Structure 1
Amino acid sequence: MSQDTKNLSEKPKTSLKAKVQKFGTFLSGMIMPNIAAIIAWGLITAIFLSPGGWFPDAAINKMSSPALTYLLPLLIGYTGGKMVYEDRGAIVGAIATLGAIVGSDVPMFIGAMIMGPLGGWCMKKVDSLFQAKIKSGFEMIYNNFSAGIIGMLLAILAEIVVGPLVVAGSNVMAIGVDWIISVHALPLANIFIEPAKVLFLNNALGNGILVPLGIQQVTDAGKSVLFLLESNPGPGIGVLLAFSLFGKGSAKSSAPGAAIIQFFGGIHEIYFPYIMMKPSLFLAVIGGGITGTFTFQMLGAGLKAAASPGSIISILLMTPKDSYIAVLAGILSAAIVSFVIATIILKRDKSNPEDDDFANKQAQVSNMKSASKGKTLVTNGSQAMDYASVQKVIFACDAGMGSSAMGASLLRDRFKKAGLQDIPVTNVAVRNLKNENGLLVVTQEELQERAQQKAPHALSVAVQNFMNSPRYDEIVENLKDAQLGGSGAVDKQSAVVEAKEPVVNDFINVAEIQVAYDKSNAGSATMTTDILSEKINHANKQTRVKRVAIRDLQDKDGNLIVSTPKIIETLTNKYQHAQLIAIENLVDNKLNEISKNVQ
């Protein structure tokens, strides 16, 4: 075997970060699908608790205890088993969880997160040993009795061993949490929570660790501050407001929309790229998180159940009557501190708008140019796949809900406008990706490694921000070009026109600047448009700047067309009225010249 063949056959190594993300996502994956049930239990408790609820009703509140003791752990155990081995694993996982419930006197969330996957794994191993050896006609007997026997044995094991061990462990953790709270050290947890969130461990922290511990605390105290540690929208909204007022370039223009989505929609992932752009802003979210948690703790804030997503709406719905002021104070204080620190950092930044995160943008442009050729080479030993083979687009995020659903909705709208409705666009959790042909996977840069491991044969596109990415234009253009057989870039003109030298110095009568693009420069054209618009706005000029596909350009007086030297060269002998300017890169001095001289 040659060295090249050997390398192709080897499995790719997984980085430590990807391993941590994978484990954290696995834990949160058992909780996330059942958040609706947790919210239902929390609403029943908050509204109908007798006494203490908004509308006390002892009869309705009778559902609260069975839901906490049986329904929620069984759902988690079922989900954990299904993640490992589909329906058979789910059934065995739920049976095994029942044993842990019976063997304890506390809500068995942690026990369910142990027994559910264990049940699925055991069932998978037994099937791998015996299922292929079963004679025809005996499949149903084997399937039912094997699952029943394995479930029974695991339930007995859980009742005798796992339940008591989890109770002991829960008591130790409860004592530890109570001690941390008693010495007012809980705010220090945000030193780890805020950076971990930005590394896409937010769901793992919130739903995999804090939610189970918080529910345990609710059974004793009626509310828990732990539900607020990760879901607090204050640190994120503070950073986004600072960018809205004192940011630069495209980050400033996109921050107000991101702030609305983050605060009211609860999609915290949307502010992560802003932090990654300027790592010093970790200080802002850490400071805001510590301040918010300190305020929560001092004022006795807490929620009845998990607030997911971390929206101000979800948080207020889960807030008991006596905690509204405390909860709002904690969120507001976190936002103020985060805003102040972020503002100081942004105002001390002396870089030009076009230099904002320029190195990262250059890397993005380089990647775009490789992908915009109509095909992308996917590693891990798979073959290259071109856009003509794409049959489905999937957005994959950590939980497969908020941010990926938003990105899928945006791309569906662009597909509709471009006439690409025949290509479905959906969203899933990265853990649920399937390795199938004809698939285009769009995911965040931090999660691309895991996405490629789950679907190595898929065409993979990484974005920084699901809400606003130039990669969407690239995807649309490449798919349209593929549907046209690779000839849909520019319409050929049969008429021969006399060559002319374009006038590049007469800016007085320019009414509109058109940044021209084809599939070779779609991403850089977007950034050029943003940079030029920002320069013109700073110069208090009114000239419009638009990003325009080559086929949609208009050769008329008053238009100034800006693009790469190659594109301008193709237009020079065809256009008689519009002015043409070629720029070499995003920091070309001609951009400054344009912004200074247009009206």
Structure 2
Amino acid sequence: MFTNTKKSFFNLSVLKTNIQKLGKFLSNMIMPNISIFIALGLINSLFMPYGWIPNKYLSELIFPISSYLLPILIGYTGGRLIGGDRGGIPGAISTIGIISNSSIHALLGVMISGPLAGFLIYLLDKKIQKRIKSGFEMLVNNFSSAIISILSLILSFFIIGPFVNYFSSYLFYFISFIIKNNLLPFSAIFIEPAKIFFLNNMINHGIFSPLGFQEVQEKGKSLFFLLESNPGPGLGVLISWLLFGYHSNKKIIYSSTIIHFFGGIHEIYFPYVLKIPRLIIALILGSMTGIFFLSFFHGGLISSASPGSILSIIAMTPKDYYYSNLMSVFFSFFVSFVCSSFLLKTIKQKDIKGYDSSLNLNTDLNKNLNSLKSIDNIAYSLNKDKIIKIFVACDAGMGSSIMGAAILNKKVKLSKLPLFVSVNYSAIDVLPKNADIVITHIKLTDKAKSCVPTAMHFSLNNFLDYHFYDDLIKYLQKVTNKSNSDTISNTELNSKMKNNVNTQKLFKLTKKNIFLNQYAYNKEEAINFVGSKLFEQGYVKFEYIKSMLEREKLAPTWLGESIALPHGTISAKDKVLNTGIIFCQFPKGVQFGENIDDIAHLVIGIAARNNEHVMVVSSLTNALDDENIIKELSNTKDYNRVLEILSL
């Protein structure tokens, strides 16, 4: 999960990425079990002595759910995330060791012991799976799982449990000291930055929830449950972006605001803060204000608000404390909004990370347009070969590059350029040395330059950036005016040469390849889904799924216009058994790109042998000319309509 070299450890960018990965992993342990937190909170709210309908017998259910069921489920999930299905059981069993030797709530220890058990089973499987004799698989698997479970149980009981007790006791004394000295609002200085690095679930459920459950037993409520889950500060940032954000997609931000405040998904506002890191000041000030009101008016919840929705907070609020809790949320929002609005109105556009990347691309293109030397280089190529060779390249040459090449090729044909232009797609590693222009994703440009240093290189964040291709056509027209050589037209090109985009169709999309109305929490989950379908339908070996995730780390496969095209790396082509495509629709969208607005509603997983998939991808490209078609593909429930639109 983490980069292993010393050099990269001290690289702040890599360190930030690794911290975010850790946070996302911890979130993935919690998210599948959110309903347990909600059920526990509702039982507390209804049946405890201070609840709405107190019931002595039903309130006795709270202890086994919070002390046994919840930790065991989280331990199972943590083990399964690392070790697959076989890692779940050792993860659950190791939880018993934490529960049996822990004087406080076991959540923090379980978030260590569960993944550790899964990791042990993963290591064992890696060593023995290929050495098991045929017919002994079940015997070996069952006994090895039992042995790892016992080992994990012992480690949890004798090492992890006591360590967590020791750590938590000092943490509790430290926080008690802070509360007694009225310093708790300053905890926001640590809480809000940690949340932005996706450590929110670890903070809430690993630290504050155990302290909160302990305090509830003593006081009937706890403000610890509302320190991290307060949606007010994030709401302030989102509303300020909605009103004052530069060139932002208002529809996306509006949806994000609703999802954050009512859906309780706080991660949705993190990218907005990462674009302008100084917005963390607004979050901290808003959070400090909310915590101050909680402390002053003795507010708190009776259970964890999971997710951190205003609806969850209302449901978990004791019946006599609505005023203090809602005032805390409101004033934290107000302070965050005022501060965020001031920062957004005074900040310079160039300080916004990821701000309008297409403008930067066009700026780079205009620099090349004004460079006589660059034009002369292309003119020399034109005089020599009577052709300009353009390659759209990606890592594997099987997805985004095909779409980019198809779009550019179509624009070249419509432009009636009087010179001969060849548009092709390619994997970066096999780019021809005589390429004149190479177009790649911005993260792959350096690699492309090392392969073809003599070519002109242009970078894209979005392979469906039509404005970029239009500017490139203008560039080629300017080259034409500079050149005095004899040229031939692209009409002649079509008669002399068959473009790669028109490769014969050897793969046919059918209903079994189409999955509509799906949902994924993040792009990794979406990629795992489409990859598993490629595997289940016999197109790839199981290892291909891992290569799809590795490819995503090289550069996002988000193409723009609501489409992502995940596929494996070029080194994983030996894992492809047959050419296959999985068309997957996510009506609620999945963030695939680096910017918050890079939302994919159509995720097409590709496994390709040779060029058999090209016509499918080209058909998708042809459909992109009409926004209504894209919208229909993103929402239709009719499988036949998908096939009809793609003309397959």
Q: Give the TM-score category using the shorter length.
A: 0.5 to 0.7
Cα pair 2:26 2:199 within 8 Å, conserved: no
**Paired position in structure 1 for 2:182:** 184
Deviation at 1:16, TM superposition (A): 0.7
CA contact (8 A) 2:314 2:322 kept: yes
Tell me how far apart the structure 2 counterparts of residues 96 and 20 of structure 1 sit (CA, whole Å).
25
Shift of 1:90: 1.1
> Which residue pairs with 2:148 in the alignment?
150
The Cα shift of 1:204 comes to 4.1
1:81, 1:121 within 8 Å by CA — same for their partners in 2? yes
Secondary structure, in 3 states, of the residue corresponding to 1:223?
A: coil
Show the counterpart of 2:545. Answer: 436
- Alpha-carbon contact 2:247-2:356 (below 8 Å) kept: no
Q: 1:151 and 1:272 mapped to 2: Cα distance?
A: 37
**Residue in structure 2 matched with residue 25 of structure 1 by the alignment:** 24
Are the counterparts in 2 of residues 445 and 463 from structure 1 also a CA contact under 8 Å?
A: no
> What SS does the aligned partner of 1:366 have?
helix
Which residue of structure 2 lines up, in the alignment, with residue 484 of structure 1? Answer: 619
Mark the CA change 1:472 to 1:480 in structure 2 (over 3 Å): closer, same or farther.
farther
Matched with 1:590 is none
CA contact (8 A) 1:374 1:482 kept: no
In structure 2, stretches of 5+ residues that fail to align are: 366-389, 404-510, 529-543, 559-563, 573-580, 582-590, 605-613, 631-648
- Aligned in 2, Cα 1:212/1:448: closer, same or farther, shift over 3 Å? farther
2:422 matched residue in structure 1: none
- Residues 1:332 and 1:123: Cα distance change in structure 2 (over 3 Å): same
Contact 1:481 1:489 in 2 (8 A): no
User: Distance between the aligned counterparts of 1:42 and 1:238, measured in 2?
Assistant: 26
Q: Does 1:62 align with 2:197?
A: no
Q: The residue matched to 1:261 in structure 2 has which SS?
A: helix
In the alignment, is the contact (CA less than 8 A) between 2:24 and 2:198 conserved in 1? no
Within 5 A, what are the aligned runs for 1:491-530?
A: none
Match of 2:223 among 215, 222, 225: 225
User: Counterpart in 2 of 1:43?
Assistant: 42
Distance in 2 (alpha carbons) for counterparts of 1:75 and 1:298: 36
Instruction: Tell which deviates more after alignment, 319-328 or 340-349.
Output: 340-349
Give the aligned residue type for 2:213. Answer: I
1:377 corresponds to: 394
- In the alignment, structure 1 residue 427 sits paired with structure 2 residue 520: yes
Query: How many angstroms does 1:332 deviate by?
Result: 0.9
Report if aligned partners of 1:243, 1:251 keep a CA contact under 8 Å in 2. Answer: no
Distance 1:62 1:72, change over 3 A: same
**Equivalent runs, 1:304-453 vs 2, <5 Å:** 304-348=302-346, 360-363=355-358, 366=361, 377-378=394-395, 383-387=396-400, 422=514, 426-429=519-522, 433-434=527-528, 436=545
Q: Give the aligned residue type for 2:617.
A: A
- Cα pair distance change 1:258/1:123, threshold 3 Å: closer
Report the CA distance between 1:218 and its aligned residue. Answer: 3.4
Render the CA deviation track for 1:474-524: whole Å, top value 9, x for unaligned.
99xxx999343866688xxxxxxxxxxxxxxxxxxxxxxxxx99xxxx9xx
Give the CA deviation at 1:106.
Answer: 2.7
In structure 1, C-alpha distance between the alignment counterparts of 2:98 and 2:549, rounded to whole Å: 42
**Conservation of the 8 A alpha-carbon contact between 1:440 and 1:461:** no
Q: Which has the higher contact order (CA 8 A, sep 6+)?
A: 1
The alpha-carbon deviation at position 284 of structure 1 amounts to 1.9
Q: Residue type matched to 1:262 in 2?
A: H
Give the CA deviation at 1:151: 1.9
Determine helix, strand or coil for the equivalent of 1:321: coil
Offset of 1:313 from its aligned partner?
Answer: 0.7
Please give the alpha-carbon distance, in whole angstroms, between the structure 2 residues aligned to 1:243 and 1:309: 23
Displacement of 1:441 in angstroms is 11
Aligned position for 1:259: 257
Is the 8 Å Cα contact of residues 389 and 438 (structure 1) preserved in structure 2?
no
Q: Is the 8 A contact 1:287 1:337 kept in 2?
A: yes
1:455 Cα deviation (Å)?
6.8
Identity %: 39
2:593 aligns to what SS in structure 1? Answer: strand
Q: Structure 1, residues 51-94: CA drift from partner, whole Å, max 9, x if none?
A: 11111011111211111121111111111111121122111121
1:95 Cα deviation from its structure 2 partner: 1.4
Q: Are residues 469 and 306 of structure 1, via their aligned partners in 2, closer, same or farther at CA, if it must alter by over 3 Å?
A: same
Match of 2:125 in 1: 127
1:241 aligns with 2:239: yes
Superposition deviation, residue 117 in structure 1: 1.9
What is residue 141 of structure 1 aligned with on the other side?
A: 139
Output the CA distance in 2 between the equivalents of 1:183 and 1:448: 51
Residue of structure 1 in register with 2:493 after alignment? none
Q: Residues 484 and 74 (structure 1 numbering): CA distance in 2 closer, same or farther, change over 3 Å?
A: closer
Question: What is the number of residues matched between the two proteins?
Answer: 443
Which amino acid in 2 is paired with 1:484?
S
Q: CA deviation at 1:209?
A: 3.9
Q: What one-letter code is carried by the residue in structure 2 that aligns with 1:361? A: D
1:140 is paired with a residue of what secondary structure? helix
Asked if the contact 1:191/1:286 (under 8 Å) is kept, the reply is: yes
Q: So what's the TM-score if we normalise by structure 1?
A: 0.62
Aligned AA for 1:462?
G
Q: 3-state SS of the aligned residue for 1:427?
A: coil
Residue 456 of structure 1, CA deviation: 5.3
Looking at structure 1, the residues matched to 522 and 56 of structure 2 have their Cα atoms a distance apart, in angstroms, of: 39
Matching residue within 284, 287, 295 for 2:285: 287
Q: Structure 1 residues 480 and 295, CA, compared in 2 at 3 Å: closer, same or farther? A: farther
How many angstroms apart in 2 are the aligned matches of 1:389 and 1:21? 32
For each residue in 1:214-256, what CA deviation from the matched residue of structure 2 results, as whole angstroms up to 9, or x when unmatched? 3344344433322222221111222333344555654667655
Distance in 2 (CA, whole Å) between partners of 1:133 and 1:443 is 32
Distance change >3 Å, CA 444–CA 342, structure 1 → 2: farther
What's the offset of the Cα at 1:203? Answer: 3.7
Determine the structure 2 residue equivalent to 1:16: 15
Equivalents in 1 of 2:19, 2:557: separation in Å?
14
How many Å separate the matches in 1 of 2:75 and 2:271?
A: 34
Query: 1:179 Cα deviation (Å)?
Result: 1.6
Q: Report the alpha carbon displacement of residue 290 of structure 1 after superposing the two structures with TM.
A: 0.9
TM-score, scaled to structure 2: 0.58
For the 8 Å contact 1:376–1:385, the answer to whether it is kept is: no
Residues 482 and 94 of structure 1: CA distance in aligned 2, closer, same or farther (over 3 Å): closer
Conserved 8 A contact 1:442-1:462: no
Query: What is the Cα-based RMSD across aligned positions, in Å?
Result: 4.7
Which whole-Å CA distance do the structure 1 matches of 2:137 and 2:618 have between them? Answer: 46
Per-residue CA deviation, residues 130-156 of structure 1 (Å, 9 max, x unaligned), is: 444444333323222222233234324
Q: Determine the C-alpha separation between the residues in 1 that align with 2:131 and 2:546.
A: 31
Q: Which one-letter code corresponds to 2:399 in the other structure?
A: D
> Separation in 1 of the partners of 2:310 and 2:68?
29
1:327 to partner: Cα distance: 0.8
1:176-232 CA-to-partner distances (Å, cap 9, x unmatched) read 222222222222121232233334443443344433443344344433322222221
Within-5 A mapping of 1:292-307: 292-307=290-305
Shift of the 341–437 alpha-carbon distance from structure 1 to 2, 3 Å rule, reads closer
The amino acid of 1:333's aligned partner reads F
1:197 aligned partner, one-letter code: K
Q: Where does 1:101-112 land on structure 2 (aligned, <5 Å)? A: 101-112=99-110
Q: Spell out, residue by residue over 1:148-175, the C-alpha distance to the aligned partner (whole angstroms, 9 max, x if none).
A: 2332343244334433333232222221
